């Protein structure tokens, strides 16, 4: 889902200083947690925050498609249970 900015709950829950501090968000249980509950489906969703993405793109001179691809792949990583640190190690490798 594409939204202009994260909602107030996300900003508060993630202790963000600004609505521009997050480009995307995976919401829901990762696959391991779902398997632990017998595979009961729980809604999952990836949010892309349009204005923070556009600001990031403008500041970093990276192709917009590359920024969006990175955010989507990062959030899909959370779906598979990877932490931010896990994904940083993968990207560095």
The residues spanned by each domain of the chain are: 2-92
How big is the chain, counted in residues?
Answer: 93
CB atoms within 10 A of CB 69: 11
Q: What is the mean pLDDT of residues 11-26?
A: 96
User: pLDDT, tens digit, for every residue of 76-93?
Assistant: 998 888 888 888 888 887
Assigned token pair, 43: 């809604």
What is the dotted CATH code of the domain comprising 2-92? 3.30.2010
User: pLDDT, tens digit, for every residue of 42-76?
Assistant: 788 999 999 999 999 999 989 999 999 999 999 99
Predicted local distance difference test score (pLDDT) of residue 92: 81
Separation CA 62–CA 15 (nearest Å): 27
């Amino acid at each position: 889902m594409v939204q202009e900015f994260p909602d107030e709950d996300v900003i508060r829950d993630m202790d963000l200083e600004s609505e521009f501090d997050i480009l995307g968000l995976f919401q829901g249980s990762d696959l391991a947690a779902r398997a632990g509950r017998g595979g009961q489906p729980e809604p999952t969703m990836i949010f892309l925050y349009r204005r923070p993405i556009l600001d990031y793109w403008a500041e970093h001179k990276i192709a917009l498609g590359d920024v969006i691809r990175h955010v989507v792949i990062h959030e899909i990583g959370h779906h598979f249970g990877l932490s931010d640190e896990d994904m940083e190690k993968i990207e560095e490798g």
